[in-house]
Amino acid sequence: MENTGTWEWFVKKFELISKIDLNAYKRPQMERQINSFMRSVNSPDYISFINTLKTEKDIYQNFVEHITINVSEFFRNPNHWQVLENKIIPLLAKKNSLKVWSAGCSTGEEPYSLAMLLQEKRINLAERILATDIDKEVLRKAALGLYQEKNIQGVPAKYLSRYFLKEDNNFRVSNEIKNMIKFQHHDLLKDMIPRDYDLILCRNVVIYFTEETKEKLYKKFASGLKSKGVLFIGSTEQIFQAKELGIKSIATFFYQKE
């Protein structure tokens, strides 16, 4: 019989509402985040919190954003982007055109950074950069391409003048760059993985998942790469079972399919 009001009960009920499986995330970290959010909306227990999520659309959306950890920056870890620009892109650019995917793109800073870099390098794209996330609201913000001044600190001056338009105190990404990207809803854990990519970026996403889930995701990404395609991961991540997945490290945080 179901034990009403427990963590396990909450996880099941929340998945019915949201299609998000919290079992894939590290439990202690996720419980802390959820309990903190519950206090902020005056929900004393999981039962009342589930009722709140069902009836209060704004609270539900804020909660999804809270647990899917939408932290993003333009050119996050600039030294890694320099490796991408100076080593990985020239390696991949030997092909006529590239197929690229930004997985877990959040509010769009990563795919826009990538689009600007590829535009500067005059790289041909086989199709628009695919930028995906589980959170529909952050995808809506990403598609707007409107950022506050504090959000564009990492953008090089030459890119800022070339690819952004100033609107009052905000900066909007130019249509030239926007048109290079296709934003799309996608659940990394449940949806089919897109195939035949030359470059996949999934950075600072899997760190929130359990080891078992990480392994499954890396396996999926490896299957989504073309032969000689490259996976670019986050600055605190490492793929220990790379050889078993048929990929090898070619630079720190970059793995190539054999």
Q: Which two tokens stand for residue 225?
A: 């790469």
Q: Kindly report the pTM of this predicted structure.
A: 0.83
pLDDT at 181: 98
**pLDDT < 50: residue spans in the chain:** 1
Q: What is the pLDDT of residue 1?
A: 45
Q: What is the CA angle 256-119-115, rounded to 5?
A: 65
The structural domains of the chain, with segments of one domain joined by +, span 7-67, 78-257
In this prediction, residue 201 carries a pLDDT of 97
What pLDDT is stored for residue 208 in this prediction?
Answer: 78
Please report how the helices 46-55 and 7-18 are oriented relative to each other, as an axis angle in degrees rounded to 10. Answer: 10
Asked whether 103 and 200 are in contact (CB, 8 A), the reply is yes
What is residue 2's predicted lDDT score, i.e. its pLDDT? 57
Residue 61 confidence (pLDDT): 86
* Matching CATH number, 78-257, of 2.60.120.200, 3.40.50.150, 3.30.420.40, 1.20.58.100: 3.40.50.150
Q: What angle do CA 186, 188, 194 make, to 5 degrees?
A: 70
